[in-house]
């Protein structure tokens, strides 16, 4: 449960690789350092990283401003094989279906973490930031439950 071994390579995925999966990728790198190779992708790549996601991750020292969104198809086009990952964490139902379909002939663990998509659910800057913080905190809670509370050494 809480102290499961951290897989050596993890892919986080969601619908657009613009909010949830970049947050998860950035937080995993920040909290666990080089314990795992971490990437993220979306079912589609039709959006830039969301400004509210960048803002709430900046609050905890996780930089997302330079993240470039990419899709599963782009990963394959660039030669990234989903088979190289030990764990795929889907943060949306669509990305879970895509991950299961693309790995049906490989022995890769696919987990589904039901994290809500905060886009379009609140009005006004303060309400949106509060909702995005809630999503960020949900992802962090799931990470700590799954991978433990390890924090990398300062040199990582």
The CATH number linked to 75 is 3.40.50.2300
Q: Mean per-residue pLDDT for 34-59? A: 92
Element (H, E) at 112: strand 109-112
Q: Is 147 within the bounds of a domain?
A: no
HSE (CB half, 13 Å, CA atoms) of 149?
0
In this predicted structure, what is the pLDDT of residue 3?
A: 43
Q: Is residue 112 part of a domain?
A: yes
pLDDT single digits (tens) 91-128? 999 999 999 998 888 889 999 999 999 987 778 899 99
Helix axes of 51-58 and 125-147: crossing angle, nearest 10 degrees? 60
Tell me the torsion sign for CA atoms 101, 102, 106, 110.
negative
Q: Is 148 within the bounds of a domain?
A: no
Is 152 a domain residue?
Answer: no
Q: Is 38 inside any structural domain?
A: yes
pTM recorded for the entire structure: 0.90
Structural domain tally of the chain? 1
User: What mean pLDDT do residues 47-72 have?
Assistant: 93
Residue 76 lies in a domain: yes
Location of structure tokens 């693309």: 102
User: Would 150 be classed as within a structural domain?
Assistant: no
d(CA 139, CA 114): 9
- In this predicted structure, what is the pLDDT of residue 152? 57
Contact 39/26 with Cβ under 8 angstroms?
no
- Radius of gyration over every alpha carbon of the chain, rounded to an integer in angstroms: 15
For the stretch 65-94, pLDDT in tens is 998 899 988 887 877 777 789 999 999 999
Is residue 150 very low, low, confident or very high in pLDDT (cuts 50, 70, 90)?
Answer: low
Q: What is the pLDDT of residue 132?
A: 96
Closest among 68, 103, 75, 73 to 88, alpha carbons compared: 103
Which of 22-36, 101-115, 141-155 shows the lowest mean pLDDT across its residues? 141-155
Provide the domain limits for residue 126: 9-142
129 domain residue, yes or no: yes
| 91 three-state secondary structure | coil
């Amino acid at each position: 449960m809480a102290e499961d071994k951290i897989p050596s390579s993890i892919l986080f995925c969601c619908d657009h690789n613009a909010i949830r999966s970049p947050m998860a990728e950035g937080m995993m790198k920040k909290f666990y350092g080089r314990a795992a190779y971490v990437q993220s992708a979306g079912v589609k790549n039709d959006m830039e990283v969301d400004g509210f996601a960048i803002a709430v991750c900046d609050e905890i020292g996780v930089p997302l401003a330079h993240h470039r969104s990419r899709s599963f198809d782009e990963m394959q086009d660039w030669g990234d094989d989903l088979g190289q990952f030990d764990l795929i964490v889907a943060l949306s139902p669509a990305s879970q279906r895509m991950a299961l379909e693309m790995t049906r002939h490989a022995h890769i663990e696919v987990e589904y973490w039901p994290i809500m998509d905060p886009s379009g659910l609140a009005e006004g800057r303060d309400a949106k930031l509060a909702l995005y913080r809630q999503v960020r905190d949900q992802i962090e809670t799931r990470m700590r439950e799954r991978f433990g509370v390890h924090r990398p050494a300062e040199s990582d």
